[in-house]
Amino acid sequence: MKKIFLLIALVLCGAATYAQQKRKLVWSDEFNYKGQPDPRKWDYEDGFVRNNEPQYYTTKRLENCRVENGTLVIEARKEEFPNTRYKSGSTNWAEKEQFAHYTSASLITKGKADWKYGRIEVRAKVATGAGAWPAIWMLGTNRGAVKWPDCGEIDIMEYLGRDPSKVYGTVHYADSLGKYQHQGESPIVGAPADGFHIYALEWYPDRFEFYYDNLKYFVFDISKAQQKEGNIFQKNFYLLLNLALGHEGSWAGPFNDNLLPLKYYVDYVRVYQ
């Protein structure tokens, strides 16, 4: 009986290896250079962007985002930094503060590269500690033309410093009635912050498969996002890499700024189709 189980395991392993070999690498950044991220591949989010998060995303600033020693480093720092969107008297949270007190970076491929289907694979070492919130995720390229969640969101990896033994894979979308829905899983995987791990999305026309290293921990049926205009998850998406900070009342929880600076390391990003 043991021999039968071993044979089945070998066949399955061989099938997975064969599938991997059949894929073609269509886009990657190995970060085998030094300085700012490759501008042919990456752009930046700028300012206070979402969720009332306290970090201010800077652009082309080595203190917050740089490539060194073969890895991308995204660093959250405690410092005073001018808010270019400041408007005196504004009640908009993104405009009312003249200075930010924390900085970080969010890299995006929007306008540079986007994909439909394939394997998106990132090898990374997450930042940890109370309120740390590193992520690998995707948004539909029609973001802006349509509101969220109609554009769809695929969270390949979110890590919460307050919950250090888990990773989160989540899908956000609007259903056929236009109502917001989300579905995901958060397996206990040990201690992701202790080293580099592979976070991957296998994207097929009918489903998503989420991976932590070799562990497939979540499968999502894309048909759940079917709308009259079609299915958002059968359209192109762009990639985001960012290090956010939580706050009181947020999903990530409040952060301890005594832990800053925090560093989030990315060894490579590869897209196969």
Residue 133 lies in a domain: yes
CA–CA gap between residue 46 and residue 105 (Å, rounded): 8
Neighbours of 140 (CB within 10 A): 23
The total of structural domains in the chain comes to 1
Tens of pLDDT, residues 110-128: 999 999 999 999 999 999 9
**Residue 202 is assigned to a structural domain of this protein:** yes
Please give the pLDDT value at position 63: 98
- pLDDT reported for residue 20: 53
Q: Does 16 fall in a domain?
A: no
46-96 tens-digit pLDDT: 999 999 999 999 999 999 999 999 999 999 999 999 999 999 999 999 999
Spans in the chain with pLDDT lower than 70? 1-21
Going by DSSP bridges, is the β-strand pair 55-57/99-104 parallel, antiparallel, or unpaired?
parallel
pLDDT at 269: 98
Question: Cβ contacts of residue 211 below 8 Å, gap of 6+?
Answer: 198, 199, 200, 201, 202, 217
Looking up residue 262, the CATH number of its domain turns out to be 2.60.120.200
Q: Is residue 6 part of a domain?
A: no
> Is 155 within the bounds of a domain?
yes
pLDDT at 45: 98
Which are the catalytic amino acids? 153, 158
Q: What is the pLDDT of residue 144?
A: 87
Confirm whether 167 is domain-assigned: yes
* Residue 17: inside a domain: no
- Is 3 within a domain? no
Distance CA(197)–CA(265), nearest Å, equals 11
Buried b (16+ CB within 10 A) or exposed e, 74-92: bbbbeeebebeeeeeeeee
Q: Look up the domain containing 244 and give its range.
A: 24-272
